[in-house]
Amino acid sequence: MIGAIEAGGTKFVCAVGNPDGTIIDSTAFPTTTPDDTLAKVEAFFAKHPIEKLGVGAFGPINLRAGSENYGMIEKTPKIPWRYYPLMEELEKRLSVPVAIQTDVVVASMGEYEYGIGKHAASCLYITVGTGIGAGLVQDGKAFQGRNHSEMGHVLLQKHPDDAFEGACPSHGSCLEGLAAGPAIEARYGIKGAELADEDHVWELEAYYLAQAIMDYFVILSPEKIILGGGVMKQEKLYPMIREKFMELLNDYIEVEDVEALIVAPALNDEQGVKGCIALAAKS
Amino acid sequence: MIGAIEAGGTKFVCAVGNPDGTIIDSTAFPTTTPDDTLAKVEAFFAKHPIEKLGVGAFGPINLRAGSENYGMIEKTPKIPWRYYPLMEELEKRLSVPVAIQTDVVVASMGEYEYGIGKHAASCLYITVGTGIGAGLVQDGKAFQGRNHSEMGHVLLQKHPDDAFEGACPSHGSCLEGLAAGPAIEARYGIKGAELADEDHVWELEAYYLAQAIMDYFVILSPEKIILGGGVMKQEKLYPMIREKFMELLNDYIEVEDVEALIVAPALNDEQGVKGCIALAAKS
């Protein structure tokens, strides 16, 4: 049996499953202090012995090859977790090998192994929610540079009709600053869910997401681009994003079927935990 | 002995060398028609028998894994080369295995194996000249998605003082449209080389390059970013780009030493041909 932990900033999901992606049992609890949270992790895996563990963690996290602090949470605004050696603690407490990646990379891995990206050579998973992040799986492996990507922070051209300055404290009008859930709320003073019928809101949202996807596409050339996360529950965004993406690309690179390129996830919010299983199975 | 061809749109460079990157002999000639050009290639390698060949080609080129037209030049404005099966023709004429990549990817491979990127885990080479392109080498291998990257076409925020619309026929104000040699010339009506003393020209150029580098950095997290090509002969650009990049990044990701991150090439315009040697040696 393989263990999985989706270690999110708000909640932890623990699961056990098989390499084929079947989940046998799972549990979820709020993320509190490291000690309290990891005690609950230990209790779950005490009932479910595992051979190895895959973890998808909130960030920033140290994934620098060869670093002595590999697998440590870095300068997060969640103070109790700042510089917490998550991977090392899990290895010590559970006495199994641990493979760790970011939450978005494991989501990408899940969709690549068991979901909509199953037969693709490369798979980019973008989550659009409280923040925006993206993870790439290329030829079955997590893409990993010097450290993990921070793709939500690409800089965008402002829409001429958008007076909002952007909500990212570091970059203002980067993708996350213009298009994450809190940016929508800050721009209109109303939560995104209550703006469902305001087409102009989603036209603007699609404009920014399409621009970022254009950048990801010319840089990474992924075969599948999967858009998930809370904001993407507005399903009308998908056709809007596809249309604007094709306009921006302007036939510069041939796209045979944009509906097969830019897609919704297939795993019903289980891509993260299933991706952890896949990550551990491959390690 | 290993063969190398830098197959550029203006000139072809042929060379033979050793896996350690030593070049034994080389020649260069203008790119004319495919038949005439490949006859010269054959003549050079008739004098220098090789075991295998590495090629860095102008694009767009088909590098889609499994495609029956793999290694074919695609819809280039150079009409005689359009849909020319470059890799297949070279294999046929020289009777050796051929490894092929884009010109920028082999330049990256050259600097990674023998130059300034020697001890880096990942190396992004950006060429800024008539066009702008970039290639990534990650853990010793050419990064390759569904097809090769087209990184020069990332979309940028216009500088508020820049009235120029951008020279890219497909995207207007993408990086190539705002910062390649022809964009500089179109903006001022004077060639870049004659603008050497006009600091505002290079401040603007650095502003656009730094923005694109910020996007590459958050997406790819490379360990080295090497800036080459004709426009980068204006050496004062390097410190300007580093400064603007650090401003844009705004401490969001820690960069210990920006002078070690953003650098000039070390191989004196031989990174391409040496990269072809490395590409073939690894294949």
H/E/C letters for each residue in B73-106?
A: ECCCCCHHHCCCCHHHHHHHHHCCCEEEEEHHHH
Query: Average pLDDT in the A221-228 region?
Result: 98
Residue B44 domain-assigned (yes or no): yes
Convert the pLDDT of each residue in A13-70 to its tens digit.
Answer: 999 999 999 999 999 999 999 999 999 999 999 999 999 999 999 989 999 999 999 9
Q: Which residues pair with A88 in a beta bridge?
A: none
pLDDT of residue A193: 84
| CB spacing of A220 vs B153 below 8 angstroms | no
Residue B170 domain-assigned (yes or no): yes
Residues B133 and B234 in one domain: yes
Residue A239 domain-assigned (yes or no): yes
Q: Tens-digit pLDDT profile for chain B (283 aa)?
A: 999 999 999 999 999 999 999 999 999 999 999 999 999 999 999 999 999 999 999 989 999 999 999 999 999 989 999 999 999 999 999 999 999 999 999 999 999 999 999 989 999 999 999 999 999 999 899 999 999 999 999 999 999 999 999 999 999 999 999 999 999 999 999 988 899 999 999 999 999 999 999 999 999 999 999 999 999 999 999 999 999 999 999 999 999 999 999 999 999 999 999 999 999 999 9
Residues B122 and B65 in one domain: no
Residues B186 and B227 in one domain: yes
Query: Average pLDDT in the A92-118 region?
Result: 97
Can you tell me the distance from the alpha carbon of A142 to that of A211, in angstroms, rounded to the nearest whole number? 24
| CB spacing of A157 vs B154 below 8 angstroms | no
Can you tell me the distance from the alpha carbon of A19 to that of A278, in angstroms, rounded to the nearest whole number? 6
pLDDT of residue B119: 82
Residue A179 domain-assigned (yes or no): yes
Element containing residue B14 per DSSP (H, E): strand B11-17
Residue linked to tokens 């263990």 = A3
Residue (of B73, B185, B57) closest to B130 by Cα position: B185
Of B121, B148, B215, nearest to A155 by CB-CB distance is: B215
Tokens of A154: 């690409």
Of B147, B152, B215, nearest to A221 by CB-CB distance is: B147
A51: helix, coil or strand?
coil
Give a three-class secondary structure readout of A167-199. CECCCECEHHHHHCHHHHHHHHCCCHHHHCCCH
pLDDT of residue B2: 98
Residue A129 domain-assigned (yes or no): yes
Residues A67 and A153 in one domain: no
What does the CA dihedral B4, B5, B6, B8 come to, rounded to 10 degrees? 180
Domain span at B42 = 2-105+269-282
DSSP state of B230: G
Tokens of B201: 């020209």
Can you tell me the distance from the alpha carbon of B67 to that of A212, in angstroms, rounded to the nearest whole number? 28
User: Going by DSSP bridges, is the β-strand pair B141-142/A11-17 parallel, antiparallel, or unpaired?
Assistant: unpaired
Q: Determine what percent of chain A is predicted with pLDDT higher than 90.
A: 95
Residues B129 and B250 in one domain: yes
Mutate to test the interface with B, among A221, A251, A258 (most CBs of B within 10 A): A221
Query: Average pLDDT in the A133-141 region?
Result: 95
Instruction: Give residues with Cβ within 8 angstroms of A230, minimum separation 6.
Output: A128, A129, A130, A181, A192
Residue A110 domain-assigned (yes or no): no
Q: How far apart are the first and last CA of chain B?
A: 14
Can you tell me the distance from the alpha carbon of B245 to that of B217, in angstroms, rounded to the nearest whole number? 10
pLDDT of residue A275: 98
Residues B253 and B161 in one domain: yes
Structural domains counted in chain A? 2
Residues A181 and A79 in one domain: no
Instruction: Give residues with Cβ within 8 angstroms of B17, minimum separation 6.
Output: B1, B2, B4, B23, B24, B273, B274, B277
Residues A125 and A255 in one domain: yes
Can you tell me the distance from the alpha carbon of B24 to that of B16, in angstroms, rounded to the nearest whole number? 6
Mutate to test the interface with A, among B155, B165, B175, B256 (most CBs of A within 10 A): B155
Cβ(A281)–Cβ(A267) below 8 Å: no
- Other CB atoms within a 10 A radius of the CB of residue A213 amount to 27
Tokens of B143: 């990064």
Under 8 Å CB pairs connecting chains A and B tally to 115
Instruction: Taking the CA atoms of B262, B268, B274 and B276 in sequence, report the sign of the dihedral they define.
Output: positive
Q: Which amino acid is at A37?
A: T
Residue B144 CB-density burial (10 A; 0-12 exposed, 13-18 middle, 19+ buried): buried
The mean of the pLDDT values for chain A is 96
Residue A113 domain-assigned (yes or no): no
Q: What phi and psi, each to the nearest 5 degrees, are found at residue B36?
A: -65, -45
Residues B93 and B59 in one domain: yes
Residue A112 domain-assigned (yes or no): no
Q: What phi and psi, each to the nearest 5 degrees, are found at residue B137?
A: -115, 125
Residues A46 and A182 in one domain: no
Of B65, B122, B248, nearest to A145 by CB-CB distance is: B122
Residues B175 and B89 in one domain: no
Can you tell me the distance from the alpha carbon of B30 to that of B9, in angstroms, rounded to the nearest whole number? 9
| CB spacing of A170 vs B65 below 8 angstroms | no
CB crowding A137-155: b at 16 or more within 10 Å, else e: bbeeebbbbbbbbbbbbbb
C-alpha distance from residue A99 to each of A50, A88, A106, B207 (Å)? 13, 11, 11, 39
- Which residues of chain A have a CB within 8 Å of the CB of B222? 145-146
The domain spanning residue A184 has which CATH number? Answer: 3.30.420.40
B172's torsion region: left (phi>0), alpha (psi -120 to 50) or beta?
left
Write out residues 79-118 of B within 8 Å (CB-CB) of A.
none
For B196-223, the DSSP string reads TT-HHHHHHHHHHHHHHHHHHHHHH--S
- Other CB atoms within a 10 A radius of the CB of residue A222 amount to 26
Does the beta carbon of B248 lie under 8 angstroms from any beta carbon of chain A?
yes
Residues A139 and A192 in one domain: yes
C-alpha distance from residue B216 to each of A101, A214, B136, B224 (Å)? 20, 13, 10, 11
